[in-house]
Structure 1
Amino acid sequence: MKNIIITGTSRGIGYELALQFASAGHNVLAISRKIPHALLENEKITCLQLDLAETNTTTAVKEFIENSWHTVNVLIHNAGALILKPFGDITADEFEYIYKVNVFGVAALNRAVLPFMGKGSHVVTISSMGGVQGTMKFGGLAAYSSSKGAVITLSELLAEEYKEQGIAFNVLALGAVNTEMLQEAFPGYEAPLSPKQMADYIYNFALTGNTYYNGKVLQVSSTTP
């Protein structure tokens, strides 16, 4: 039984992950802006209603760990924000918001949780194929894709910084998954994988991937895009 923190659990991949870890007997801290009833009703899941774009939101996470778990085995950065808009039309506030959720929120949660992680623990950041250098890029995703590239570099750096403590950091750069966020940005586009299918992969990787990888970016995409 392990203690697992997952962000972005209100729907899609994060929601499926929280239920899958709980059904396997693990303790789950589910962090999201909205809390589904199915997670609230699960005795293995603790829900925190937080917006990672806001400052000082990680205080509640730290207090929960100190008072309840004391240690964390796996941290999965799954929360994400996306805006589809031509670069010239994106406002400074919109660009900053994407970075607050996708980059600054990841960094802040790392700072809060890492003191409670030890040898053998695993930090998994969910990025995007659009954030990987040299991959196909799509117009209108300047804020989103560049933010996903930023967390890739952050993870690589933290893997080096924390390697002596035995904490592994890896990134999964996902291709198109048929989530509600994708449908909102690209109405009518049908991705080949469901959130449940991708959650199955991430579940296993989060528990075992640190045995084989550290500081790596794995491209998880069955199509282009």
Structure 2
Amino acid sequence: MNLHLTNKNVIVTGGSKGIGASISKAFANEGANVIIVARENPSWLDEFETITFVKGDLSITKERNRVMKEILDKYRAIHILVNNVGGSNGASIEETSLQLFEDAFQLNYFSAVHMSQLVLPVMKKTGQGSIINISSIFGRESGGKPTYNNAKAAMISFTKALADEVIPFGIRVNGVAPGSILHPTGNWQKRIDENPEKMKDFVKKEIPAGRFGTPEEVSQVVLFLSSEKASWVVGATLNVDGGQSYSHF
């Protein structure tokens, strides 16, 4: 299937490793021009001529402004924004400081809100665009660290609100909610290394498909939602989880 993504300009936040790296490579393989925004330059960058790197800490407001200005000074049009950057912190709600909750929201939620705000004027000028927000199945239910889950829940709500606001301008906003995705730099790999038998039991009990998901299985859904093949998908956040989620919406 030709997704017609050749020569599209794509920003992927947190695109240097894990799911973000897979998304970045998938767009590049479709012929898109990809701009990765991350704190560290990925070691694999030289493998792709159409991927460039912009260094930035997107948990900081002034950094988001600087990064977007740097990108827009080079690219007149941005066709796709993938808000993928994220991370977890803290422990139980009682044990986690308010500052850690605020930090989690700056990285996981406000970065997506702000980057979307900054790119919207450019997309409106061209009358087209796609914004994809990477949330989590735990944005709809409990599980994992509350700071992360709360921020991802806000992102799912934001996705629907922004989608309804900007679709009249030809801009589609959707989300992807991954389940447990295994990659070398992720928390699931660390847990497998620490206690492989416990993780086997977790997969057996919690994931009906019987295995962890892969970053590539997430990135392929992102490609579809970003393309005109998904022209009538607006405001949706799609689970990509092998049946793991307990939610029915």
- The reply to whether TM is greater than 0.5 is yes
| 4+ long deviations beyond 4 Å | 184-188
User: What is the CA–CA distance in structure 2 between the aligned matches of 1:209 and 1:56, rounded to whole Å?
Assistant: 35
User: What is the CA–CA distance in structure 2 between the aligned matches of 1:111 and 1:184, rounded to whole Å?
Assistant: 34
Q: Could you say which residue in structure 1 is the equivalent of 2:187?
A: 182
Q: Could you say which residue in structure 2 is the equivalent of 1:222?
A: 242
Q: Could you say which residue in structure 1 is the equivalent of 2:217?
A: 197
Q: How far does residue 12 in structure 1 lie from its aligned partner after superposition?
A: 0.5
Structural mapping, 1:92-107, within 5 Å: 92-107=98-113
Q: Could you say which structure has the larger radius of gyration?
A: 2
Q: 1:192 to 1:125 in 2, by over 3 A?
A: same
Q: 2:51 pairs with 32, 45, 48, which one?
A: 45
Q: How far does residue 206 in structure 1 lie from its aligned partner after superposition?
A: 2.0
Normalised by the length of structure 1, the TM-score is 0.89
Q: How far does residue 186 in structure 1 lie from its aligned partner after superposition?
A: 4.2
Q: Could you say which residue in structure 2 is the equivalent of 1:62?
A: 68
The AA in structure 1 aligned to 2:156 is I
Is the 8 Å Cα contact of residues 32 and 51 (structure 1) preserved in structure 2? yes
- 3-state SS of paired residue (1:162): helix
Does 2:224 correspond to 1:213? no
Structural mapping, 1:59-98, within 5 Å: 59-83=65-89, 85-98=91-104
Is the 8 Å Cα contact of residues 40 and 47 (structure 1) preserved in structure 2? no
User: What is the CA–CA distance in structure 2 between the aligned matches of 1:200 and 1:156, rounded to whole Å?
Assistant: 21
**Higher mean C-alpha displacement, 121-130 vs 201-210:** 201-210
Q: 1:90 to 1:19 in 2, by over 3 A?
A: same
Is the 8 Å Cα contact of residues 18 and 39 (structure 1) preserved in structure 2? no
The AA in structure 1 aligned to 2:84 is N
Q: How far does residue 129 in structure 1 lie from its aligned partner after superposition?
A: 0.7
Normalised by the length of structure 2, the TM-score is 0.81
User: What is the CA–CA distance in structure 2 between the aligned matches of 1:64 and 1:159, rounded to whole Å?
Assistant: 26
Does 2:114 correspond to 1:108? yes
**Higher mean C-alpha displacement, 80-89 vs 47-56:** 80-89
Q: How far does residue 221 in structure 1 lie from its aligned partner after superposition?
A: 1.5
Percent identity over the alignment is 26
Q: Could you say which residue in structure 1 is the equivalent of 2:177?
A: 173
Q: 1:143 to 1:209 in 2, by over 3 A?
A: farther
The AA in structure 2 aligned to 1:165 is F
* Structure 2 alignment gaps of length 5 or more: 1-6, 204-210
Does 2:187 correspond to 1:149? no
* Structure 1 alignment gaps of length 5 or more: none
Q: Could you say which residue in structure 1 is the equivalent of 2:8?
A: 2
